[in-house]
Amino acid sequence: MMTIALLSFLPISSKAENTPSIENTTKANALIARLEVIKTMDKSGMNRAEKKVLRKEVRAIKANLADLGGGVYLSVGAIIIIILLLILLL
């Protein structure tokens, strides 16, 4: 009886897929391509101001990529609490 009750509540049909939109993937690919171009540039001939502008651009691109990527971030304290709860419950 318990097995039937547990099997009836399986979330088989309610899969929540977190697929990024096509716009986000194309933006991310363009930003990654720009980062690769900047990485392969010869920066030895640049003056200080040009390098500073380039660094600001790289930081902005990385921030945009982080915003597009999303994700779940867990702190060390949260991980420790989760581990302790698992130890206590199991």
**CA–CA separation, 14 and 19 (whole Å):** 15
Whole-model pTM: value is 0.55
Query: Within 10 A of 61 (CB to CB), how many other CB atoms are there?
Result: 16
**CA–CA separation, 35 and 58 (whole Å):** 7
Cβ(34)–Cβ(74) under 8 Å? no
The residues near 59 (Cβ < 8 Å, ≥ 6 apart) are none
Residues of the chain below pLDDT 70 = 1-21, 70-72
Chain position carrying tokens 């698992």: 86
Question: Domain boundaries in the chain?
Answer: 21-70
The predicted-structure confidence for 42-68, as pLDDT tens digits, reads as follows 989 999 999 999 999 999 999 888 888
